Each structure stands twice: as structure tokens, then as C-alpha cells.
Amino acid sequence: MSMTPRHRFILLITALYTVMGLLWIFFSDQLLSSFTDLSSMVWLSTAKGVFFIVASAAAFFLAMRAVPSDDAKNSGQPLDLLYAAITPVQRQQWLGYLFAVSLPLLMLLVRSAIAVPIGDRPLLMLFMFPIILTAMLGGLGPGLTATVISALGTAYLVVPPIHNVKIAASHDLIQWGFLLVNGVAVSFLSEMLRRSQARTELLNNTLEQRVAKRTVELDAANQELEELNYAIAHNLHTPLRALSGFSQILEEEYAGRLDQQGQDYLQEIHQGAILMGQMIEAVVRLSRSSRGVLKHEQVDISALARQIQCFYEQQPDPRQTVRWQIEPGLTAWGDHRQLKLLLRNLLDNGVKFTGKTTDPVIRVYAEANAICIADNGAGFKMRHSGKLFQPFQRLHRQDEFSGIGMGLAIAQRIVQRHNGSLQLSAEPGKGTIACFRLPAAPN
């Protein structure tokens, strides 16, 4: 079981408080022990207690302000939350410079307090701590200030000769030089870090806005493309009518003056025009399936399927003796007209591809939240299924099963517009199963 952000945060803050408190007691008592007279020790002890109370009160204030609510969905890390809580304070430059001055001075104190156990070695590495902390909290200016104060302070107080900025030993000079260079580098790096952090924050804040804007733009562009699609298909009607019309007029009025081959060629023009007409109609249908506003309602899929069954049974086609098995009570949440079109396209395929099957059966049933349309027709090899949903893609030759390859493209678009999914599985000679799954109605 994973912890909620609230729990993680409380745990982290408690741990931090414990560690900081223990460190404070340890170091401050060490510092206190360097004083020998009792009265100043008592006075200092009281001061240190007061400081501790004030500091922890401030820390409590910040920490409690940042506690995420119980139901917070925010998956942010506890440290981010704390950072966010301190941010308004941290933005103030004077606080950064206060740190820049006070932290190195504090470290000088600590250094002199632990001078006894570590001896006379300068241990300049210690001073990286206040520099890094200041640079992280305050950025470039405070970081450099802390570096300069640390460098001067150590040169004057820590590195022999004491009480003199001169540095005698060359190995001390090298250490001191490293401190200076590292301090400057850390200050620059944290400034960069802070800036990129601010930029990220800004980007994050505007992200949603920009996504929304882009979505609107994309929708508009899409809409425009669909309109264009439709307009092109539509405007092709007129020249196509001329093509088929005049070739038919030729056939009617001038057939006697053409030999057999001439008449065959004329027939080919006519056939081409018919196919082109079907394709244009298909493109219009496709673009219509992706235009217009969807009106969602509970749709009786079983009733729609039975309507389509009736349509087929009224067709004067003696060859078709399809047995329909439509499960009653199937419903889906979507646009009535579009779902009818979807069902129509899938059932058309069922009827078409069982055209050469003896005892054709088409089943409409529910399975695992999906509605499936299964037939026992020609099927296809699954390895050919990649382009199935693209317009004008077919898996059968015209002389096997006629068609132009738009049915599944339209079905797919309708399902996608409903945020659903459409899956096909098939086996050659056994049949095809098409299943679509649409999101349930909102409560």
C-alpha cells in the first residue's frame, strides 16, 4: 500500500525536526562547553533555549502551512510541497543576504568550537556547507557573498597565521583557492538551477492554458480539413456527371457508328465513372461521419440491428438466406444516427462476406462490455489487417467481393469520435468478428 502525500509529508517533517533538533543540541552544547565561567554559561543556555523555541515555532508554522489535505490528489514530493510553502519568503532577497552573512559566521563559530578535537587543520571543506545552502536559497548574489565572507573569514581566523589575511603554507593556499573556486561555481550553478526551476514553474502554470488553446486550434484545422474533403468530393460530382453522361449519350446515339472495340472502350469509360462515383460518395459519407455534433443518448442496439435485418430481408436478393441471431436488450451510449451508421457498416460487411457461404449466420451479441458482430463468411488473414481501417484499403479483390473499402474506415471514425475502441479478428474461411466498446453513460 502506498502512502498518501499527506502521510509522506508528515513523516518527513517529523524526521527532519528530530535530526535538526539533535544536531542543534549536540553542537550548541559543544559550543557552550568552551565557556568556563558558570554565569555566562547559564545565560547562554537560556538564550540557546529561546532561540530553539523561536526557530522551531517558525519551522512549525512553515511546515504546517504546507501539509497537504487528506484527499489531495497531488502526487508531488513532500520536499516540493515544503519548497512551495517557503517560496514566498525565499523570494525576498534580503533574507538570502542575511543567510549569506550569518551562515558563514555561524560556521566560523562551529569551526572554532570543534578546534579542540580536530586540532589545527583548517578543514576548509566545512565552509562549503554555508555557501551551498546560501546559494541554493538565495541564488547568485547571496552565494557569492557567502563565498567571499567564508574566504576572508577563514583566511583571517582559521588558516595560519591567525588574525592575518595572509596564508603562509602553500597547501593551505591551494585548499583556500579550491574553496573560493567551488563557492563561485556553486553560486553560478544554483542560480541557473533556480532560473530553470522558475521557468518550469511558469511553463507548468501556463501549460493547461496552452494545451487548451492548441486543442482549439487543432480542432479548427481538423474541421477545415473535413470541410475541404467534403467540398472536393462534392465538386467532383459535376465533371463526373459529364463524363458518365456524355459517354452514355454516345452509347445511345452513336453506337451504330462504333465497331465492337469502340463500344467496349465506351463501356470501360462508363464503368470507370461508376466506380469513381461510388468512391466520391464514400468520401462524402466518411467526412460526414466525422462532422457534426454528437447527441448522446441511450441507444437500443438490438432494435437498430433488427431494423437493418429487415432492410436486408426486403431486398430482392434470392441468394441471401442469412440467419440472423440478434441478442435482445443490447444498448450503448452514443449518437443514435452515428451508431446506426456504425452498425450498418459492420453488418453490411457481414452480409457481403458471407455471400459465398452456405448457411450464412450473422450474430450480434455482447461480450465483456463490448458489442460484437460476428459472421461465418470469408474472413481474412490477421497479418493483412494493418491497413483495414484506412480508406480505400481492401483485403479482397473486386472479382471476389465488390466494394471500395470505406466501411471499416467509417466505422472506426465513429467509434473514435465516441472515445471507444473497435477491434477485428478473423480467420480465412471461418469468418470475422468485429467488436466495439464505447464508454458507459455518465452518471
C-alpha 442, offset from chain centre: 23
How many Å apart are CA 345 and CA 339, to the nearest integer?
10
**Which residues contact residue 151 at a Cβ distance below 8 angstroms, ignoring those fewer than 6 apart?**
176, 179, 180, 183
- The answer to whether the peptide bond before residue 391 is cis (omega within 30 degrees of 0) is no
Q: How far is the CB of 300 from other proteins (least distance, A)?
A: 25
Q: How far is the CB of 246 from other proteins (least distance, A)?
A: 7
Kindly state the number of chain residues that form the binding site for other proteins, as judged by CB under 8 A.
16
Taking the CB of residue 131, how many other CB atoms lie within 10 A of it?
31
How many Å apart are CA 408 and CA 394, to the nearest integer?
10
Selected from 145, 175, 187, 244, the binder of other proteins by CB under 8 A is: 244
Q: Choose one: 93-101, 238-246, 353-361, 392-400; the region binding other proteins (CB under 8 A).
A: 238-246
Q: Choose one: 120-128, 168-176, 239-247, 307-315; the region binding other proteins (CB under 8 A).
A: 239-247
Rule CB under 8 A: say whether 404 interacts with other proteins.
Answer: no
Q: How far is the CB of 348 from other proteins (least distance, A)?
A: 20
Selected from 30, 102, 248, 263, the binder of other proteins by CB under 8 A is: 248
DSSP, res 84? H
Rule CB under 8 A: say whether 241 interacts with other proteins.
Answer: yes
Would strands 361-367 and 331-335 be described as parallel, antiparallel, or unpaired? unpaired
Rule CB under 8 A: say whether 237 interacts with other proteins.
Answer: yes
Rule CB under 8 A: say whether 234 interacts with other proteins.
Answer: yes
134 vs 247, which CB is nearer to other proteins?
Answer: 247
Phi and psi torsions of 317, nearest 5°: -125, 100
Q: How far is the CB of 294 from other proteins (least distance, A)?
A: 16
Selected from 173, 240, 266, 269, the binder of other proteins by CB under 8 A is: 240
Selected from 3, 169, 249, 382, the binder of other proteins by CB under 8 A is: 249
Rule CB under 8 A: say whether 105 interacts with other proteins.
Answer: no
Selected from 80, 281, 300, 327, the binder of other proteins by CB under 8 A is: 281
Binding mask 194-233 for other proteins (x = CB under 8 A): ----------------------------------------
Selected from 21, 76, 141, 277, the binder of other proteins by CB under 8 A is: 277
For residues 197-217, one letter each, b for 16 or more C-beta atoms within 10 angstroms of the residue's C-beta and e for the rest, the string is eeeeeeeeeeeeeeeeeeeee
DSSP, res 111? H
Answer whether 42's CB lies under 8 Å from 106's CB.
no
238 vs 358, which CB is nearer to other proteins?
Answer: 238
Would strands 323-326 and 370-375 be described as parallel, antiparallel, or unpaired? unpaired
Task: Give the bridge partners for 335, in sequence order.
Answer: 296
Residue 298: strand, helix, or coil: strand
Rule CB under 8 A: say whether 280 interacts with other proteins.
Answer: yes
Rule CB under 8 A: say whether 255 interacts with other proteins.
Answer: no
**Which residues contact residue 146 at a Cβ distance below 8 angstroms, ignoring those fewer than 6 apart?**
99, 100, 101, 103, 104, 130, 131, 134, 135, 183, 187
Q: How far is the CB of 223 from other proteins (least distance, A)?
A: 15
121 vs 237, which CB is nearer to other proteins?
Answer: 237
Rule CB under 8 A: say whether 254 interacts with other proteins.
Answer: no
Q: Residue 216: CA atoms inside 13 Å, Cβ hemisphere, count?
A: 5
175 vs 244, which CB is nearer to other proteins?
Answer: 244
How many Å apart are CA 35 and CA 43, to the nearest integer?
11
C-alpha 207, offset from chain centre: 12
43 vs 254, which CB is nearer to other proteins?
Answer: 254
234 vs 384, which CB is nearer to other proteins?
Answer: 234
Rule CB under 8 A: say whether 141 interacts with other proteins.
Answer: no
Answer whether 363's CB lies under 8 Å from 325's CB.
yes
Nearest to 280 by CA among 214, 243, 337, 236: 236
241 vs 381, which CB is nearer to other proteins?
Answer: 241
240 vs 303, which CB is nearer to other proteins?
Answer: 240
Q: Choose one: 213-221, 236-244, 349-357, 417-425; the region binding other proteins (CB under 8 A).
A: 236-244
C-alpha cell at 206: 501556463
How many Å apart are CA 322 and CA 302, to the nearest integer?
17
Selected from 49, 160, 245, 262, the binder of other proteins by CB under 8 A is: 245
Rule CB under 8 A: say whether 432 interacts with other proteins.
Answer: no
Distances (CA, A) of 124 to 159, 176, 177, 184, 228: 9, 7, 10, 15, 73
Rule CB under 8 A: say whether 266 interacts with other proteins.
Answer: no
Q: How far is the CB of 337 from other proteins (least distance, A)?
A: 12
Interface residues with other proteins (CB under 8 A) are 234-235, 237-242, 244-246, 248-249, 277, 280-281
